[in-house]
Structure 1
Amino acid sequence: MAQFAVEAEISAPAVPAARTTPVYVSLLTASLRALARSRPVSAVLLALLSLATAVPLFFEESLLEIAWRFWLSRHIADPAESTLGVTMMIGAIASRGLVRLPRRRVEQPSAEDVARAIEILASQPNASAGLVRLGDKKLLFSDCGQAFIMYARRGRSMVALFDPVGPKALWAPLALKFIAEAKSRRCRPVFYQVSADFLPVTVEARLNALKLGEQAVVDLSRFSLAGGDWLKLRRSINRAERDGLEFELLAPADVPAVFDELSAVSDAWLSAHKAGEKGFSLGTFKPHYVLSEPVAVIRLEGRIVAFANILTTASGGDAFIDLMRHLPGVHRGMMDLLFVRIMEHLKAEGFRSLNLGMAPLAGLSTHKRAPIWNHVGRQLYENGERFYNFRGVHAFKSKFDPDWQPRYLAVAGAGFPIASLVDVTMLIGGGLKGVLRR
């Protein structure tokens, strides 16, 4: 949900306007919260929450956003959909009463820790780990100081983002250190969006891994628009350029001069999607973050109409598209042009791969021995297009012939990790209040 992992128009359709008045919504929310305080009712709502958290709210949209769309959409014609929307909303609100802890000050890393982490980034290949520059996640370093885990705490979960950053030989001891730290704080250890390379660590640490989807990684060494298979994409970008769209890749030193334009595009994108900034596993439009890396822009008549910031590694191996925002309704081929030209420039500079981010719920097997999560996720992927563009995200990224790499959620214990999914959701969405404001 991105991202694209990031933030693409195809991944987040605009939420239809609600017919219900804000006063009614407020009264309903207050009533549901009161119900959640009743233990018998909470037990029932916990069962409903199992269904609610099956929605992949932890990618780019929050549970409440999807629930509102189910329940309040002007286009709902099926009573079953309306019932499901109410169920999801009840589950989300009830979960706050079930897993909420006393309010804590948000933990932030020290400037020294962030500087240490950035030094480690220079010697490792995972460009998406550049999200550490946001400074919104705590850092846990290995005993030798050559690797780190970035994490945040929500409810009773300590959630690590991505694989540990540093030499693979340090992953297992660092992961065990993280688990011990979580347990010392009476928290659940959670590893979010880890790769298949991390699975041996999950076995050693007795963690349960659930597949979240697949990540699209383009091999730049073999990327080319030559040949008949690329005809449709070539036509799209040629048409965009004939219509006056121009691409430019700005070095970090050149970004401050256009920062105000980028900010205006970002604000317009958020407004068009009726969304607020997400966080944790997604970049946010913060000046120090946007100014730290190259930014690709599309101009029309000299005015910036789209941009993407690109996280890179000093080793020059991997690159990652994070924020991607644009003015609505400019040109159908604008995103094709932006992505293709980014790939061509990175290839010319010697980069080996470009990470396009996740395709949520893609590639889930549904054989008889597959986890229940896989069956639920596959049904959502196949039948949830009206409420989230699962197939559209996968189809867009498939244009560029990527390698599809699985990504997992790893948690302690067996069964369906309801509370952990809720906590990850709230981390990305900025909490329930932040979700309700969007």
Structure 2
Amino acid sequence: MSQNEKVLVISDLSLSDTIGSSDPRLSGSNVAKLVEALEEFKGDGHLIILGNLLDLGVSDSSVSEYETARAALDHNELVVSFIANFTKNHHGRVVVIPGLKDRSLAWDEELSTLVINRLGATFCLELEVRLHSQNRIERVLVASGREFDEHARASDPYSPFDTPWATHRLTDVLPKALREGPSLLWGAERLQDPEDLAGLAASRIVYSKVLKYSVFALLPIILTVLVRIPLLASLPGIGRLNGLRSLSKLRLELLAITSLIDIIVVISIILFLAQRVYSALSKASPTTMGTKRDLNIASRIGAQAVLRRGYKALIVAHSRQPELTKVGSGYFANPGGVQPILKKMPGRLGLPAAYSMVSEVTWLELSTNNTLKLELFGFTSSTHVPFINRIVASPNENFPRVPSLIASLPEGKDYDELDPRELIRFLRPRRIAHISVLALGIIDLASALTPPLRSRLRDILEFLPSNVATFADATTALIGVALLGLSFGISKGQRLAWAISTLAVAVGVISNLLKGGDYEEATALLLLLAFLLQNRAAFDQRGSREKFLNRIVKATAYWLLTLIIGTFSIWLDGTFQRHARRITIDKAVIAAASRMIASPVEVLPHLLNRFISPTLFTATIGIAIYLVAGLFLPYVTELTSEHRSQSSSGLTEREIVAAYSRGTLDYFALRDDKEHFVSHDTLIAYANYGSTCLISPDPIGPEVGAKQAAKELISTLRSRGKSIAVLGASQQWVDFYRSIGLHEYYIGDEAVVDVTSLSLEGKTHKGLRQAVNRIRKYGYTSEFCSPMEITPEVKDQILEVMTRSRKGDAERGFSMTLGRVADPVDDDILITCCKDPNGTLVGFCQWVPAPGIDGYSLDLMRRDTGEHPNGLIDFMIVETIEYLRARGKTHLSLNFATMRGVLAGERGDGITQRVEKMVLKRLSDSMQIESLWKFNSKFDPDWSPRYLIYDKLENLPSVLLSVAKAESFWEIPVIGRFLSQDQEKKTTVA
């Protein structure tokens, strides 16, 4: 293509002889509107129809595909005419790439001849577009996209006998299902996510069956209202009221309140049943409630491999999910489609997702001037949406109504149909619910321990006995305690904590009203109840049923044991003290049980009652705290092997590090004490420390695959209730971590030396030059080898130096140490050995490969504690720099300087920075913080900042403790004494 030519890419025309006639919901107006929009196209160009020109999928088996195709072309004369005249009008070519619905174009010669004769098109399975821009040619690969879908990929696309699962689903499963259940599966052939048939059927059943007949639940409410009217008139307190007006007003208020409670209960039951039905029926769905699957992820990851072959962009269709995004130094694009598709829409008010036919027409334009330019255009048109869907679902109102530019690269904005906030959309509801539950728990507890207002209590006692108010007050106290314990589970998104909290809040509304007319607390709890119900999808973490039942059994046993002790205490006191009224064993049971719930019904002697009543109720409070704390405080699930994915290409962890390592810490992912999560050819190393999952280093893999794998792992960790931390994160990953709801905290800089430019000449490096020359003058030498080349004698000397320098053979670290020394499994590491004039090893440095900087990164640096000239470490580093320079390497990563930017005054001069600087100065004596910074500065390094990534501020203390455990910071004065109880991790020495 020349610079003045363009390329139009459209997909999913799905021409058939039914669109626009037999089914008004699948209107043919989209094609007409597209043709009208493309009529504005001026100049020379080419047209690519990228899959599904014809809809030959779900069709009558008695009619041949040839007859179906001919009828479809005859029925859609407008678009056929436009395509047939495109070559003449724009002096270009029309290329058709078969898709899933018209795959037979690849092997059916009669069918392809028909299309060629009618449209003047040519066929191919894959197309390379070459665009001339200034002095270079930009290459773009255009493919159907089926090759990236494991369910639609054909080993031999030219064979009619090679039928993947997607083909069977389209030609066999759907036709049969549509015949047997047309109302439930209508539009399934146009479902955007073909794997979501179970979710579609479940949603249709809920909205067409469950909710449709739920209106009959209002009949009992109407009957109860009619029954309550005479009952209200007969209440004992009503007769003592003066005045007909007060009587009528109170009757109406009571009637309204009780009816409102009934309505809330009925609606809650209906929503609960709807959700239970939907959850049970949609278990086979690949997506959770209200969420959508990224259908382009496999193609987007595949784009990286395409770009490595010299292409500038990859364009695919198949998923009908429009997209235009950057991938590394190139682009990935999906033109979307023309015909309406059935999309999953999140439900409102916590209702299940609804499926609506959405008509969004999109297409791509490619052009070139100074560089390749890709533009995504689109518009939406009206389609038939059922009334219930318009009420319960949240449609996309942001799509333009007229043909408009949606995205443009490289100079404009990109476009991804999926909401980038999908991974963090539950964090805000969880935090709000956590704070609210915690606050209202405190308020409820305080309210229960303070006397009610007399005027309000008097009104309550006019209608109810005093025991009811006393029992309601005790219930409010228990609910307050429960909410305090449940708040932690709520913050983790635990489903069980949500269910119990919802029930407790609902009961709390009633108990606050009955204990003394606390309308303010009841209103606040009612608002919290509405919030919990509306955001129920945010609480999806499921725990262990065995753990739950075990805790319930223990709590019940403790309560019964307390009841037995209380019963015998009361009975024995009544027997031996010879009270006027003898206390039998059955009355003792009732007295003890009623006092455990702060609602005594049996009269006891004054002295006994004074001591036994608070004791039994306090025991109940203690058991409640034990139950709630045990269920929800440590309620996290480890990431077991069943949650660890596998590399799509079968690469091992070590092969992934060798192929995709870009950071200086990547090799440390191979530590023996780190677990590995492998997905999308990406390796993520982590370790569990209590409720915290500590990740280090950053994900290792292809850019798109690494980010997707990180999203999957973090999503899994959040669903398991784990706190998340990344130790030693690089600046390149900080923006990504922010985008998924994490926060960063600066912890220091890594010194990276440019070995090609470092020189010992000049006044600046006088001290370093003198130290190195002094060591050389005394006859010290250096040798370089790999673990495979080390002799047993040298290896023994290395271990001896380690033992003396560390006063033992324990090596500490996690994020920036390998944990192994001279192990033959690490055949690509470099070891610098320093020997004295007698040939005895007196120091060594172990370096791990860092392909991202074309060099090595420091792992261990040890020297003998004996009498040696100053500068031994300087000598080993300088010798290593000269060794790497001679072999064409460019960089060497040295020590990590903790909080260097704060000490250097580069992080600002605020109060926080001043406090940090003061603390660091105090710790420098024992932890060598400032001395490490000044030592590294001698080599003129570039400083690469490193960060601690954490998920929530309230989790920061546990994250810091996990870091201390991982890095084994036991030598910190005072702090180390509290941490030293944990077992130290030791280096495994080969």
Taking structure 1 as the reference length, the TM-score comes to 0.68
User: Does residue 429 of the first structure (1) align with residue 964 of the second (2)?
Assistant: no
Shift, 1:120, TM fit: 1.7
Task: Give the 3 Å change call, closer, same or farther, for CA 393–318 of structure 1 in structure 2.
Answer: same
Task: Give the 3 Å change call, closer, same or farther, for CA 193–375 of structure 1 in structure 2.
Answer: farther
SS in 2 for 1:166: coil
Match of 1:344 among 882, 893, 896: 882
Provide the C-alpha distance between the structure 2 equivalents of 1:105 and 1:167, rounded to a whole number of angstroms.
Answer: 23
In the alignment, what sits opposite 2:582? Answer: none
Match of 2:696 among 124, 141, 161: 161
Match of 2:749 among 211, 214, 217: 214
Task: Give the 3 Å change call, closer, same or farther, for CA 412–342 of structure 1 in structure 2.
Answer: same
User: Does residue 407 of the first structure (1) align with residue 951 of the second (2)?
Assistant: no
Maintained 8 Å contact 1:255/1:294? no
Maintained 8 Å contact 2:855/2:884? no
SS in 2 for 1:163: coil
Provide the C-alpha distance between the structure 2 equivalents of 1:197 and 1:315, rounded to a whole number of angstroms.
Answer: 13
- 1:149-179 deviation per Cα after TM superposition (whole angstroms, max 9, x unaligned): 1110101111110221123333432221221
Match of 1:360 among 889, 895, 898: 898
Match of 1:304 among 826, 836, 841: 841
- 1:348-377 deviation per Cα after TM superposition (whole angstroms, max 9, x unaligned): 21222111131011103554778x4x4543
SS in 1 for 2:900: coil
Alignment of 1:270-281 (within 5 A): 270-271=806-807, 276-281=810-815
Provide the C-alpha distance between the structure 2 equivalents of 1:385 and 1:424, rounded to a whole number of angstroms.
Answer: 19
In the alignment, what sits opposite 2:776? Answer: 241
Maintained 8 Å contact 1:366/1:378? no
- Partner amino acid, structure 1, of 2:725: V
Alignment of 1:19-418 (within 5 A): 116-123=652-659, 124-142=661-679, 144-145=680-681, 147-257=682-792, 258-271=794-807, 276-281=810-815, 282-286=817-821, 288=823, 292=827, 293-300=829-836, 301-313=838-850, 317-329=854-866, 330-364=868-902, 367=908, 372=912, 374-414=913-953, 417-418=956-957
Provide the C-alpha distance between the structure 1 equivalents of 2:702 and 2:985, rounded to a whole number of angstroms.
Answer: 41
Maintained 8 Å contact 1:312/1:318? yes
Task: Give the 3 Å change call, closer, same or farther, for CA 105–126 of structure 1 in structure 2.
Answer: closer
Task: Give the 3 Å change call, closer, same or farther, for CA 100–265 of structure 1 in structure 2.
Answer: farther
Task: Give the 3 Å change call, closer, same or farther, for CA 434–239 of structure 1 in structure 2.
Answer: farther
- Partner amino acid, structure 1, of 2:714: I
Provide the C-alpha distance between the structure 2 equivalents of 1:316 and 1:406, rounded to a whole number of angstroms.
Answer: 15
In the alignment, what sits opposite 1:3? Answer: none
Q: Could you tell me the percent identity over the aligned residues?
A: 23
- Partner amino acid, structure 1, of 2:843: A
Moved over 3 A (4+): 99-107, 112-115, 289-292, 313-316, 365-370, 434-438
- Partner amino acid, structure 2, of 1:280: F
Maintained 8 Å contact 1:247/1:297? yes
Provide the C-alpha distance between the structure 2 equivalents of 1:324 and 1:176, rounded to a whole number of angstroms.
Answer: 36
Provide the C-alpha distance between the structure 1 equivalents of 2:882 and 2:812, rounded to a whole number of angstroms.
Answer: 29
Unaligned regions of 5+ residues in structure 2, if any?
1-632, 970-978
Maintained 8 Å contact 2:725/2:951? yes
In the alignment, what sits opposite 2:568? Answer: none
- 1:241-283 deviation per Cα after TM superposition (whole angstroms, max 9, x unaligned): 1112111111332124321111111111111xx7832132223
- Bigger relative contact order, structure 1 or 2, given CA contacts below 8 A and separation 6+? 1
- 1:405-430 deviation per Cα after TM superposition (whole angstroms, max 9, x unaligned): 11001111236711101011112229
Shift, 1:284, TM fit: 2.5
Deviates most, 249-258 or 329-338: 249-258
Task: Give the 3 Å change call, closer, same or farther, for CA 291–163 of structure 1 in structure 2.
Answer: closer
Deviates most, 120-129 or 330-339: 120-129
Maintained 8 Å contact 1:245/1:299? yes
Provide the C-alpha distance between the structure 2 equivalents of 1:221 and 1:187, rounded to a whole number of angstroms.
Answer: 45
Maintained 8 Å contact 1:255/1:295? no
Maintained 8 Å contact 2:638/2:688? no
Maintained 8 Å contact 2:968/2:984? no
Shift, 1:396, TM fit: 0.4
Task: Give the 3 Å change call, closer, same or farther, for CA 205–105 of structure 1 in structure 2.
Answer: closer
Task: Give the 3 Å change call, closer, same or farther, for CA 380–369 of structure 1 in structure 2.
Answer: closer
Provide the C-alpha distance between the structure 2 equivalents of 1:313 and 1:214, rounded to a whole number of angstroms.
Answer: 17
Task: Give the 3 Å change call, closer, same or farther, for CA 429–235 of structure 1 in structure 2.
Answer: same
Shift, 1:328, TM fit: 1.0
- 1:308-365 deviation per Cα after TM superposition (whole angstroms, max 9, x unaligned): 1110146781310111111114221101100101111112212221111310111035
- 1:185-236 deviation per Cα after TM superposition (whole angstroms, max 9, x unaligned): 3211111110110111122111110000111111122122233322221111
- Partner amino acid, structure 2, of 1:343: I
- Give the RMSD, CA atoms, in angstroms: 3.3
Maintained 8 Å contact 2:635/2:721? no
Maintained 8 Å contact 2:787/2:824? no
Provide the C-alpha distance between the structure 1 equivalents of 2:968 and 2:727, rounded to a whole number of angstroms.
Answer: 15
Maintained 8 Å contact 1:298/1:338? yes
SS in 1 for 2:788: helix
Provide the C-alpha distance between the structure 2 equivalents of 1:101 and 1:388, rounded to a whole number of angstroms.
Answer: 35
SS in 1 for 2:927: coil
Maintained 8 Å contact 1:266/1:285? no
Question: For the pair shown, which has the larger CA radius of gyration, 1 or 2?
Answer: 2
Provide the C-alpha distance between the structure 1 equivalents of 2:651 and 2:865, rounded to a whole number of angstroms.
Answer: 37
Provide the C-alpha distance between the structure 2 equivalents of 1:416 and 1:377, rounded to a whole number of angstroms.
Answer: 20
Unaligned regions of 5+ residues in structure 1, if any?
1-98
Shift, 1:184, TM fit: 2.8
Maintained 8 Å contact 2:695/2:727? yes
Task: Give the 3 Å change call, closer, same or farther, for CA 436–223 of structure 1 in structure 2.
Answer: closer
- Partner amino acid, structure 2, of 1:294: L
Task: Give the 3 Å change call, closer, same or farther, for CA 101–426 of structure 1 in structure 2.
Answer: farther
Aligned residues: 332
Taking structure 2 as the reference length, the TM-score comes to 0.31
